[in-house]
Amino acid sequence: MSTSPARISLDTERSIGEISPRLFGGFAEHMGRCIYGGIYDPGSPHADERGFRGDVVSALRELNFRLIRYPGGNFLSGYHWRDGVGPRPQRPRRRELAWQSIETNQFGTNEFIELCRMLPAEPLLGVNLGTGTIEEAAALVEYCNAPAGTTYADLRVAHGYPQPHGVTHWCLGNEMDGPWQIGGLNMQEYARKAREAAKVMKWQDPSLRLALCGSSNTTLPTYPEWDRVVLEMCWEHVDFLSLHYYAGNREADTASYLAMAAQFEEQLDTLAATVRCVKTKLRSRHDVFLSWDEWNVWYKDRTMRGGWAEAPHLIEEVYNLEDALVVAQWMNVFLRRCHVLKVACLAQIVNVIAPILTTTDSLVRQTIFYPFMLFSRYASGMSLDVAVRSPRYPTRLFGDMPLIDASASYDPVTGDTAVFLVNRSQAAPLPVEIVWQGVTPARMGTVVQMAGTDPKAANTFARPDAVTPRTLAGVPVANGVATLTLPPLSFTVLAGR
Ligand code: AHR
């Protein structure tokens, strides 16, 4: 493996597109301890008078989520929203089938909207197209968005919310291609149901922006034919096609795992091509964008049956340094594909495959917390078309890959620029030159870096700060060039203007 210097070339005139703030979204599902025991935990010493965990809300604010998807996930396909609104003592206690848990319904749509207002983040609500009907979907839109004066809007007012919630972004079901889904459908059945739901939802409120369920993952035999068929049948009624993916180092092959960006790009490119092909075939002027509304690392904890308990411990993945480097690359890919990808939701936000783990009285920021936080804080404006010249290294899954994975942003309004660099090498430091053309920053005054020697190092309640970013000295930019050396197994953000 060579360690000759890498060169990152940027030109502020060469941008890929505008970075949608909705790329910094999260996902909260009624699963395990995401809602109960995570966001909402009246028994915790950190709970406010409404039951929201103050420490969790503060940590979520650090992540600067711009949008939160709710209430599922597989949970959505068995959920009837009327169960979760109105006086709490009257809300039903149910056997929840997706995760075989007890759902108390003490948290529902209005509590979710309150959370969004508190953060603040935009809500992205799902409608149940598994066991739900199009009538129920339209009624939820009325409940959330209509002014007082009709049945469901008046119900919202009676529940204490005189003003409409104004929810613009919605999902038409969840993973409806999955055999695991409650009330799963084949592609024609789903497309027909989604189209009819979309019609009545937009009749309720024409400002809605709707996401169609795309393939749940790339291994299903229906991928990507499902996507083509549902797009063709629903095109004019929808605004996004969703995709989901969970990455993992299942074969203990860290070299390949650290090159996963290749897989993320392939999935996005396949679906972007499908979208484009359908648009051309339909001779349409309407646009549909991609929404990666579930993404994360998930492979270690597969506990998915709750044993009919309330808030059981389900899929409480513990994240390590290599997982954080994969998350950082995922976000590099979001920037590199921001012309087609407009929404992305980290799945999930608390306890369940999440950047934050809680006990009743404390919380831990997991390794993946930090790359998300840094992208969400520093990436803004336009994504630049980064040219990377880098030494390469061999991987079993993707062939020879560059040691560096990179993205960059430039905000023409503020003049802020940021560069995001992952060094995939497990052993060698890598000297890097960053070369600007166009508007050149005077100095990259902020340099923040996560690095370590052990790819499996993780934060725990006993050692909550084992893997955290360090702030380094700023880097001068002389004649449009900045130089630095990236340690192995590292993620570095440089920001300046
Ligand atoms: O995020 C956990 C689960 O993964 C979601 O409920 C489902 O949509 C996906 O399969």
287-344 pLDDT per residue, tens = 999 999 999 999 999 999 999 999 999 999 999 999 999 999 999 999 999 999 999 9
- The yes-or-no verdict on residue 104 having pLDDT over 70 is yes
**Which ligand 1 atom is at minimum distance from the Cα of 315?**
2
Contact 68, 349 (CB under 8 A): yes
What is the DSSP annotation of 158-180? HTT--S-----EEEESS-TT-TT
- % residues pLDDT > 90 (the chain): 99
Q: Give long-range contacts, CB 8 A cutoff, 24+ apart: 466-473.
A: 467/320, 467/321, 467/324, 467/367, 467/370, 468/365, 468/370, 469/370, 469/374, 471/446, 471/447, 472/447, 472/448, 473/447
Overall average pLDDT of the 83-105 stretch: 98
| SS3 annotation, 5-47 | CEEEEEECCCEEEECCHHHCEEECCCCCCCCECCCECCCCCCE
Q: What is the mean pLDDT of residues 140-152?
A: 98
Ligand 1 lined by 34 (C-beta under 6 Å): no
Name the pLDDT band for 83 (thresholds 50, 70, 90): very high
Residue with the smallest CA separation from ligand 1 atom 3 is 73
174 lines ligand 1 (CB under 6 A): yes
- The atom of ligand 1 lying closest to the CA of 347 is 1
Cα–Cα distances (Å) from 295 to 82, 331, 383, in that order, read 29, 10, 20
DSSP annotation of 348 reads -
Ligand 1 centre distance from Cα of residue 278 (Å): 27
Q: What is residue 80's three-state secondary structure? A: coil
CA of 413 to the centre of ligand 1 (A): 38
Q: What is the DSSP string of 384-438?
A: E--EEE--EEEETTTEEEESEEEEEEE-TTT--EEEEEEE--SS--EEEEEEEES
Query: Is residue 44 predicted with pLDDT exceeding 80?
Result: yes
CB distance 73 to ligand 1 below 6 Å: yes
Calculate how far, in angstroms, residue 462's C-alpha sits from the geometric centre of ligand 1: 29
Q: Indicate the angle between helix axes 225-234 and 261-281, nearest 10 degrees.
A: 40
Amino acid at 457: A
Burial class (CB in 10 A: 0-12, 13-18, 19+), 163: exposed
Residue 242 beta carbon below 6 angstroms from any ligand 1 atom: no
What pTM did the predictor assign?
Answer: 0.97
Band (2; pLDDT cuts 50, 70, 90): very low
Asked whether the predicted pLDDT for residue 31 surpasses 50, the reply is yes
Q: Is 29 in the pocket of ligand 1 (CB under 6 A)?
A: yes
Q: Counting every residue, how long is the chain? A: 497
Question: Which residue has the CA at smallest separation from atom 9 of ligand 1?
Answer: 73
Q: How many CB atoms lie within 10 A of CB 413?
A: 8
Give the distance (Å) from ligand 1 centre to CA of residue 217.
11
Out of 175, 316, 317, 322, pick the active-site residue: 175
Cβ count within 10 A of residue 120: 10
In whole angstroms, give the CA distance from residue 235 to residue 306. Answer: 38
118 C-beta neighbours (distance < 10 Å), count? 15
Give the integer Cα–Cα distance in Å for 334 and 261. 10
Q: Is 1's pLDDT higher than 80? A: no
The answer, yes or no, to whether residue 121 has pLDDT greater than 60, is yes
Q: How far is the CA of 74 from the centre of ligand 1 (A)?
A: 6
Active-site residue, selected from the candidate residues 294, 316, 317, 322: 294
Q: What are phi and psi of 33, to 5 degrees?
A: -110, 30
pLDDT tens column, 460-488: 999 999 999 999 999 999 999 999 999 99
Establish whether residue 96 lines the binding site of ligand 1, counting it when its CB lies within 6 angstroms of any ligand atom. Answer: no
Ligand 1 atom closest to Cα of 353?
Answer: 1
Q: Which atom of ligand 1 is nearest to 74's Cα?
A: 6
Residue 3 has pLDDT above 90, yes or no: no
For ligand 1, is residue 173 a contact (CB within 6 Å)? Answer: no
pLDDT for res 459? 98
CA of 444 to the centre of ligand 1 (A): 39
Pocket of ligand 1 contains residue 215 by CB under 6 Å = no
Q: Give me the phi and psi of 316, to 5 degrees please.
A: -90, 70
Does the C-beta of 293 come closer than 6 Å to ligand 1? no
User: Contact 369/346 with Cβ under 8 angstroms?
Assistant: no
Bond from prior residue into 71 cis (ω within 30 degrees of 0): yes
Distance CA 217, CA 214 (A): 9
Known catalytic residue: 294? Answer: yes
Q: What is the pLDDT of residues 372-430, one digit of tens each?
A: 999 999 999 999 999 999 999 999 999 999 999 999 999 999 999 999 999 999 999 99
- What is the average pLDDT across 217-227? 97
Indicate if 175 belongs to the active site: yes
**By C-alpha distance, which of 339, 335, 317, 342 is closest to 243?**
342
**Coil, strand, or helix at residue 343?**
strand
Using the 8-state DSSP alphabet, how is residue 458 labeled? B
User: Between vectors from CA 274 to CA 271 and to CA 275, what angle results, nearest 5°?
Assistant: 90
> Cβ(74) to ligand 1 under 6 A?
yes
Confidence at residue 4, expressed as pLDDT on a 0 to 100 scale: 73
> Which of 74, 296, 345 for a ligand 1 pocket mutation test, highest count of atoms within 8 Å of Cβ?
74
Whole-angstrom distance, CA of residue 214 vs CA of residue 419: 31
Do residues 70 and 35 touch, judged by C-beta distance below 8 A? no
Q: What percentage of the chain reaches a pLDDT higher than 70?
A: 99
Determine contact, residues 36/358, Cβ cutoff 8 Å: no
- Which ligand 1 atom is the nearest neighbour of the CA of 29? 6
